[in-house]
């Protein structure tokens, strides 16, 4: 049965980390005042740190970075339909050009976007500080849940297990 399970403090950060890092790719939306969807692009999550901040790499002169300089408010939409896991994060983005942070977060896969590696002059790190987040997380795999939904339709009882709720991240 799907239940409401709001999480706070460390438990909220652990759920945020679990979902964001396992789903990995999100739609990273800037320019929210226009809200036409044209300022959303897929981004790969590099890390969710112990404070609950979400880290990404970005090209310094990208439209995304320009839009963050104009308005730091962002939304992240994570979706893993195969697991029926979803996460929406509202937050504030900060552009960082710190070599130590680049070194800490670097992965060889990033060479595809930054041909000069960690020393590429166009690298920036985007830190998203979540203000609000909401999740939906269904337990089990999609096929099992499909059969549970069929059984639920015939019995009138919800047999799908999972939770949804608010992640309260600003209380730490």
Contact 105, 125 (CB under 8 A): yes
pLDDT of res. 35: 66
CA 41 to the chain's CA centroid: 12
Distance of alpha carbon 15 from alpha carbon 73, whole angstroms: 22
- Listed as ranges, residues in the chain with pLDDT below 50 are 1, 141-160, 171-172
**Tokens 């990995």 — which residue?**
24
User: What is the reported pLDDT for 147?
Assistant: 38
Q: Nearest to residue 74, comparing CAs of 84, 64, 82, 60? A: 64
pLDDT value for 90: 96
User: What does pTM read for this prediction?
Assistant: 0.84
pLDDT tens per residue across span 27-47: 999 999 886 777 999 999 999
- Residue 2: the pLDDT is 54
Which residues touch 53 (CB under 8 Å, ≥6 apart)? 127, 128, 129, 130
Distance CA 29, CA 43 (A): 10
Cβ neighbours of residue 132 closer than 8 Å, sequence gap 6 or more: 89, 90, 91, 166, 167, 169
Domain map of the chain by residue range? 2-168
Confidence (pLDDT) at 143: 41
CA dist 21 and 16 (Å) reads: 8
Contact 168, 7 (CB under 8 A): yes
Distance between CA atoms of residues 13 and 130, nearest Å: 10
Question: Quick one: pLDDT at residue 96?
Answer: 97
146 three-state secondary structure: helix
CATH tag for 2-168 (out of 3.30.565.10, 2.30.110.10, 2.40.50.140, 2.60.40.10): 2.30.110.10
CA torsion through residues 17, 26, 114, 35, sign? negative
Q: What is the spatial distance between Cα 28 and Cα 75, in angstroms, rounded to a whole number?
A: 6
């Amino acid at each position: 049965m799907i239940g409401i399970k709001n999480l706070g403090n460390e438990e909220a950060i652990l759920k945020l980390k679990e979902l964001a890092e396992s789903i990995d790719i999100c739609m990273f939306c800037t320019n929210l005042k226009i809200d036409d969807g044209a300022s959303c692009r897929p981004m790969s999550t590099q890390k969710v740190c112990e404070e609950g901040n979400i880290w990404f790499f970005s090209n310094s002169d990208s439209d995304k970075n320009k839009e963050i300089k104009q308005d730091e408010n962002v939304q992240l939409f994570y979706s893993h339909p195969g697991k029926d896991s979803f996460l929406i994060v509202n937050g504030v983005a900060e552009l960082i050009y710190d070599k130590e942070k680049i070194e800490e977060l670097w992965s060889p896969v990033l060479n595809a976007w930054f041909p000069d590696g960690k020393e590429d002059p166009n690298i920036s790190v985007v830190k998203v500080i979540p203000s609000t987040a909401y999740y939906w997380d269904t337990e089990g795999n999609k096929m099992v849940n499909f059969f549970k939904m069929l059984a639920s339709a015939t019995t009138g009882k919800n047999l799908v297990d999972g939770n949804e709720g608010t992640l309260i991240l600003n209380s730490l």
